[in-house]
Chains A and B, each alone.
Chain A
Amino acid sequence: MPAVVVTANTEGETAFETPIIRVGKILGIIINNQSANDITISITDKFTPSPTVTNPSPTEKEVTKFEVTIPSGQYETFNLSRSPIKILGTCRVVASATDTACKIAIIYSFELI
Chain B
Amino acid sequence: MIELHERTPKLLEKGNYVRFLSPEENFSPTFKANVIYQVKSNVQVVFYTAFIIPPGDVSLVKLNNDEDALGLYPENPKTLYEVLVGFGGTEDIIIYPMMPSTDYLLYLEKAGMRPNPGLPQLRYLGMYTTSDSPVNNPRLVLYFVKDMDQFALQLYNTNTKEDEKLIVRFVINKCYLEEVREEVKAPVKDILHYKLLRW
Contact = CB atoms under 8 A, between A and B. Distances in A.
B53 interface: yes
Contacts of A20: 49-50
B88 interface: yes
Contacts of B130: 113
Nearest to A88: B165
B104 to A, nearest CB: 15
B161 to A, nearest CB: 11
Contacts of B57: 49, 52-55
B163 A52 contact: no
Contacts, number: 61
A113 B89 CA distance: 5
Nearest to A86: B162
A52 B53 contact: yes
Contacts of B48: 21
Interface residues of A, number: 20
Contacts of A50: 51-53, 59, 61, 155
A88 B167 CA distance: 11
A63 interface: yes
Interface string B42-78: 0000001111111001111100000000000000000
B59 A51 contact: yes
A23 B163 contact: no
A38 to B, nearest CB: 28
A113 B131 CA distance: 10
Contacts of B136: 112-113
A51 B165 CA distance: 13
A22 B135 CA distance: 12
A63 B55 CA distance: 12
Interface in A15-72: 20-23, 47-55, 58, 63
A112 B165 contact: no
Contacts of A58: 54
A58 B51 CA distance: 12
Contact of A112 (B49, B164, B167): B167
Contacts of A48: 52
Contacts of B59: 50-53
A21 B135 CA distance: 11
Contacts of A49: 52-54, 57, 163
Contacts of A22: 167
B135 A88 contact: no
Contacts of B167: 21-23, 112-113
Given A52-B59, A54-B57, A21 B163 contact: no
B54 A55 contact: yes
B97 interface: no
Contacts of B115: none
B163 A47 contact: yes
